Structures are given as C-alpha cells and as structure tokens.
Amino acid sequence: MHELSITQNILNIVVEHAKRAEAQRVRAINLVVGDLTGFVDDSIQFYFDMLSPDTLAEGARLNIQRVPARVCCRSCGEQFSPQDYSWVCPRCSALGGDVLSGREFRVESIEVE
Amino acid sequence: MKVSVVKDILSANDQLALQNRQLLDSAGVCVLNLMASPGSGKTSLILRTIDALRGRLRIGVIEGDIASTVDSDRVAAKSVPVVQINTGGQCHLDAPMVQRGLAQLPLTELDVLLIENVGNLICPVDFRLGEDVNVVIASIPEGDDKPYKYPGIFVAVDAVVINKVDLMPYLRFDMTAFRELIAGMNPGVSIFEVSCETGQGIDSWAEWVAKQRSAKLDE
C-alpha cells in the first residue's frame, strides 16, 4: 500500500527535474532501490502507470536497479551478501555485521527529450 | 538527454521529520517510535510503561492504526494525553501524520512521547517521524526466526523488546539463538525480555526509557 505515496514522491521529483531541464517528455526513470528497504518493484510500476498519465512522465520506462544487502563481518572484516536469510559470515562463521549497502532508495537520473 | 537527479525519494518525509524533531527538541520531549507486528503487545507495553513511570515522567502517546480508537481508548483510561491517528489503510505512520498529531498534544507538559506505529515489520522502519529512538517489539509466539525474515527492521533499531516471555514454557523459542542473532546483526542494541502479562522485566525496560530521556536532556 505504501508504494502509492512513494510513487507519488518519485513522480514529483521526476517532473520537477524534467521541468528544470525544459524537457518535453521523460523517456526513462532510473531508480536505485536497496534490498533492505521494503519497496517492491512491481508495485511501484503499478502505481506509476496509474499516476503518470497527463504528466511529463507519462509512458516513461522505469528502470529499477536493485542493490543487494552487503554486510561487513565484525570479526574478520569479510564483506558478504547475506544469502538465504543467513547473516553468518562465509569466512569465519561469525554472526551478522555492519550494513554497508542495501538501504538505498533514490531517483538516480532521468532520460528526457 | 540524461539528467542526473540523485535525490532521496523519502526526502520530503525526512524534512518534515526533522521539523517534528526540532519542535520536540525545543519542548524537551524524548520520542520513542515503537514498531512491531500486529498482536505483539505494543499497546500493552505502552500501558505498562505508563504505570512504571507514573509520578516520575510525564508521558504522552500517539496511537497509529489503520482504523478504530480501540488502542487510544485503552491509553486514555490511564489519564495520559493521547492522540489517535487512523491511517485509513496506509501501513505505516509518516512524518506529516505525526506532525498533525503533535499539534493536538500539550508538548510542553510532556517528558516522553510514545508513538505506536502501525502493526507491520516492513515499511514503518523506512519512514522517519522525528523520533529519538527506534524500538521493535518481538514476541515469543511469533517465533525466533523473525530477524532472518525482516532484517531491515532488526538492524535499524536501538532496542528490541521481547514480549510474552511468560509463554516460554509452552512454546518452542530459542532465546539464546534469538539474542545472538540480533546482537550479531545490530551491535550495541539493547535487548529486554518482558511480559506485559506478569510485569516481568518491565522495570529495566522503563529504566532504559527514562535513561533515553535524561540522555536527551544532557545533549
């Protein structure tokens, strides 16, 4: 459900930057979404198709680049992506670590004409 | 033509959260954002916390729910200021909702504000409200595997409250593994084992809440 308001935010950001660039139309929107956020690609696309008509972004392609969770082991410093819900370090078997990436949620760029 | 944007999608919410925070800072109110799945005991913990700190700290409450005033009625019975926010279907509270809630509370007469988020382990953690600390409440019947399934929330909080420990004799729940997992994912997190039914562990939790408030005043 929360993707509705989120997608409206995305659209606002996109239209604002498209206007600033004096664009006629937005062809593509490049998003960066971390796996540790709760945002679902299909759901964003669904609401985008609903909200974007009659805006500069109508018909734009949504490119969503997912960023996997990366964790740094606090025991041995190994950097790894947790697999199968497991936060066990593949090198030293210590549990968990500091989150390096996976929390991203931004509009990276837009392609306009 | 490619136009670089690099803008956080939640920046509008974050800005309002910052305004909330400044308002609360100036009133000297320490704010806890309580998150959990439905039925884990968020409201029960709030009621216990009010009782434990009565006469010591003045507490206010914001209740977030999709619908109904069931929770705020329970809190109001404790004679503390409470505001109910019905999100009308939205699965989390956000900063604009909390801002409207704050306008209805006597902030200068409060020391601690407890915000009960909508019951959900996924999206509440992505939305800043203006809080000082984030807390997730887990409970024994939910099982000890929740940090694996919802890592986003368990890595982001300052404290984990494990409720319903009085049910430990009846359910399979590996407390040692659960605590190790959380501590491994989130170093420095405070963990409390409580039962809102029996009152077990509530004192040390309430003590921690009081400490958050004094730490804020010392800043």
Of B5, B13, B91, the CB nearest to A108: B5
Number of domains in chain B: 1
Under an 8 A CB cutoff, do B181 and A94 touch? Answer: no
On whether the CB atoms of residues A1 and B127 are closer than 8 A, the answer is no
Q: According to the model, what pLDDT value does residue A1 have?
A: 56
Largest CA distance in chain B: 64
Who's near B4: CB < 8 A, 6+ residues apart? A108, A109
In the predicted model, is pLDDT for residue A87 greater than 80? no
Q: Give the residue among B58, B134, B62 at the shortest CA–CA distance from B96.
A: B62
Q: How many other β-carbons are positioned within 10 Å of the β-carbon of residue A5?
A: 16
Q: What is the ipTM of this complex?
A: 0.84
Q: Do A106 and B149 touch (CB under 8 A)?
A: no
Nearest to B126 among A17, A21, A37 (CB): A37
Query: Which of A55-59, B29-33, B149-153, B211-215 shows the lowest mean pLDDT across its residues?
Result: B149-153
Residues of A in contact with B136 (CB under 8 A): none
Q: Tell me if B135 is assigned to some domain.
A: yes
In the three-class reduction of DSSP (H, G, I as helix; E, B as strand; rest coil), residue A80 is classed as strand
Does domain A3-68+102-112 sit in CATH 3.30.2320.50? yes
Identify whether B6 is part of a domain: no
Per-domain residue ranges of chain A: 3-68+102-112
Give tens-digit pLDDT for B119-135.
999 889 989 999 999 99
* Residues in chain A closer than 8 A to B94 (CB atoms): 5
How far is A31 from A49, CA to CA, in rounded Å? 15
Domain of B214 in residue numbering reads as 11-218
B181/chain A closest Cα distance in angstroms: 7
Q: Which residues of A touch B144 (CB under 8 A)?
A: none
CATH number at residue B88: 3.40.50.300
Residue B169, C-beta contacts closer than 8 angstroms, at least 6 positions apart: none
Q: Give the 3-state DSSP-derived string for B28-87, with helices as H, strands as E and coil as C.
A: CCEEEEEEECCCCCHHHHHHHHHHHHCCCCCEEEEEEECCCCHHHHHHHCCCCCEEEEEC
Instruction: Please judge whether B123 and A110 are an interchain contact, meaning their C-beta atoms are less than 8 angstroms apart.
Output: no
In a domain, B1, yes or no: no
Residue with tokens 């370090």: A89
Q: Which of B160, B156, B125 is nearest to B142 (CA)?
A: B160
- The pLDDT value given to residue B187: 81
The 3-state secondary structure of B149-189 reads HCHHHHCCCCEEEEECHHHHHHCCCCHHHHHHHHHHHCCCC
Most confident of A89-98, B154-163, B184-193: B154-163
C-alpha span between B84 and B45 (Å, rounded): 17
